[in-house]
Amino acid sequence: MDQTTENRTQLINELDTARETVTACGAALRHDLDLSAKFRRGVRAHPWAWFGGAAALGLLLSKIRLTNRKTAVKVENKQSKAEKPAKAAFVLLLLRFGLDVAKPVMLRWIKTKYVDRDRALRVEANSKLT
């Protein structure tokens, strides 16, 4: 039994050592992967280098042309400019004529569909009450 308790205490000590090692390695890894803290430390340590680099990058990006700008010139016939308003006026004239013709027909249809039917229903209801 003495040997088993000795083995247990040895295993417990090894586990404690391994836990301490893993904890220390995890803390070091978190410190290495903390990029925002590294960036802040770098800017605090060398501010002029960072601001100069940012200014140079901004100047470089402003001088680069991202697209080739081409201007297209449209050549239009003078006749086509005169034809467009004439066509629009003709279409409006036809639309107005069509609506003027259709207005009485639509009003008669609405009257027969709704007003006359409503009157007939009221008369029928009154005759049933008396």
Q: What is the pLDDT of residue 24?
A: 92
Q: What is the pLDDT of residue 54?
A: 93
The total number of residues shown for the chain amounts to 130
How far is it, in rounded angstroms, from Cα 103 to Cα 109? 10
Q: What is the pLDDT of residue 80?
A: 59
Q: How far is CA 115 from CA 19, 103, 118, in A?
A: 92, 17, 5
Q: What is the mean pLDDT of each run of 10 residues along the chain (130 residues)?
A: 81 92 91 88 91 92 77 67 77 90 87 77 71
Q: What is the pLDDT of residue 1?
A: 52
Q: What is the pLDDT of residue 126?
A: 73
Q: Compute how many other C-beta atoms are within 10 angstroms of the C-beta atom of residue 117.
A: 11
pTM: 0.34
DSSP characters over 8-61: HHHHHHHHHHHHHHHHHHHHHHHHHH-HHHHHHHHHHH-HHHHHHHHHHHHHHH
